[in-house]
């Protein structure tokens, strides 16, 4: 499945390069209009990152997210610095189908394991962003990619799968926002190692060929951000590409 992504700061559609707030590109697009446009193009899901809420949970853009969800044009997964069960519950109450949990999964896996057991694996997406070190180890980064958690992707997943984890959005940080292609080998390896996981590939998609390259990896979904906003191709083209055997 092709999943378009939208990043939001103070009600504005933006993209960050390599997760850096100082390298921000703003787009003159109304978020609700973007929902309708992507739905018209055939999207069934939208990935929302609340970057304002990630910096300050008290400023989470709940009213805007609710307006987007209330269109009922598709299903939504949303997150951005989720730190508490209250925030998980708030988003689910708004009608978000899945809450995206990032850094907290590496920092407090027991807490997130409890949420997985309480709400179920279908309600939570683990957003595990990795830096690949000199040894080839996939180390999870936290705090907007600024810190190395010291936790390996595989170690954390083995722990959280026992609690019912099903959906994992995995990003090779070195590829994000580059339009230089995804880490195809990584998705092949993790899909083979964890076949029960619905993997969402994220980062680096610059053309339809990059989507095509992911089809044999075992990934169940592809997140598209900058490439769509900059018109590298149409969402409908991406969906057709992914569906073509």
Residues noted as catalytic: 7, 129
Report the C-alpha gap between 80 and 144 in whole angstroms. Answer: 9
The β-bridge relationship of strands 98-101 and 124-132 is: parallel
Element (H, E) at 69: helix 62-69
Please check whether residue 125 is in contact with residue 100, taking contact to mean a CB–CB distance below 8 angstroms: yes
Tokens representing residue 143 in the block: 């705090």
Residue with tokens 């993209």: 15
Report the C-alpha gap between 40 and 86 in whole angstroms. Answer: 33
Instruction: Report helix, strand or coil for 189.
Output: helix
Please check whether residue 198 is in contact with residue 167, taking contact to mean a CB–CB distance below 8 angstroms: yes
Residue 73 has a CB neighbour count (10 Å cut-off) of 18
DSSP H helix total and E strand total for the chain: 11, 12
């Amino acid at each position: 499945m092709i999943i378009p992504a939208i990043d939001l700061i103070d009600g504005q559609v933006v993209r960050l390069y390599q997760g850096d707030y100082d390298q921000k590109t703003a787009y003159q697009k109304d978020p609700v209009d973007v929902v309708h446009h992507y739905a018209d193009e055939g999207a069934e899901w939208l990935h929302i990152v609340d970057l304002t809420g990630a910096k300050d949970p008290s400023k989470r853009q709940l009213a805007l997210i609710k307006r987007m969800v209330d269109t009922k044009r598709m299903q939504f997964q949303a997150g951005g610095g989720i730190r508490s069960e209250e925030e998980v519950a708030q988003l689910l109450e708004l009608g978000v189908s899945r809450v995206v949990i990032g850094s907290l999964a590496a920092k407090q896996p027991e807490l997130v394991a409890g949420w997985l057991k309480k709400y179920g694996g279908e309600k939570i997406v683990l957003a595990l962003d990795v830096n690949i070190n000199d040894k080839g180890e996939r180390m999870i980064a936290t705090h907007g990619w600024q810190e190395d958690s010291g936790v390996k992707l595989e170690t954390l997943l083995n722990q959280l799968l026992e609690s019912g984890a099903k959906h994992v959005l995995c990003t090779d940080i070195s590829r994000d926002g580059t339009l230089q292609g995804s880490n195809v080998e990584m998705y092949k390896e993790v899909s083979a190692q964890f076949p029960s996981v619905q993997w969402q590939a994220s980062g680096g998609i610059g053309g339809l060929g990059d989507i095509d390259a992911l089809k044999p990896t075992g990934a169940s979904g592809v997140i598209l951000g900058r490439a769509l906003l900059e018109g590298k191709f149409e969402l409908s083209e991406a969906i057709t590409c992914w569906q073509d055997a």
